[in-house]
Amino acid sequence: MFILVKSRLKQQYTIWRCPTISEQMINEQIRDREVRVIDEDGGQLGVMTSREALNIAKEKNLDLVKIAPKAKPPVCKITDYGKFKYEQTKKDKEARKKQNIVTLKEVRLSPNIEQHDINTKQKNAIKFLSKGDKLKVAVRFRGRELAHTAIGRDILLQFAKDLAEIADIEKYPKMEGRSMVMFMTPKKDVK
């Protein structure tokens, strides 16, 4: 966040940079009257004024970093800010790696599809499910085909029956506009 200040003398603009929410406040930026202080080893030094905490940090040639601003009183840690920021980004990367992203893949069928085409679509579905993705199987009806939705339901249920070893039905077939849709998820034990 930037604050734009207009100087009256020379019509100059000065930009003051304010810390954003994601950035930690360090040293003189900490304006709280009292803070709970943790030393570099993780031991608690107790509650003290921010000035006292800053003096202790300067004696040790380290920074005072606010790590829990919403706590009462806020928690500050005496540490090297560069090292602290590096470890924080490292933790964020690890958390992103462990996060499992599930995407939704779609297989489209038609009411008058042949068995060979269904087999090809099933191979694609197996590939998607083995990667851990959810699967949306849709039968699209055109024109007079809309009068025969039972055929589409039978195709979807047969498709699910063929993939029963590796997938479960999350949502059974239902009409959505001109399409009948069914959702499948991979089984937990098979991947």
Q: Classify domain 24-84 by CATH architecture.
A: Roll (3.10)
Instruction: Tell which residue, 129, 125, 126, 123, has the closest CA to residue 138.
Output: 125
Please name the fold of domain 104-186: Translation Initiation Factor IF3 (3.30.110)
- The half-sphere exposure of 125 on its side-chain side, counting CA atoms within 13 A, is 30
pLDDT level of residue 21 (50, 70, 90 thresholds): very low
Residue 148 has pLDDT above 80, yes or no: yes
Give the separation between CA 56 and CA 37, rounded to whole angstroms.
Answer: 10
Q: pTM score, two decimals?
A: 0.51
Per-residue pLDDT tens digits for 23-61: 678 888 888 888 899 888 888 888 888 888 888 888 888
Domain ranges of the chain: 24-84, 104-186
User: What span, in angstroms and rounded, lies between the C-alpha atoms of 62 and 65?
Assistant: 9
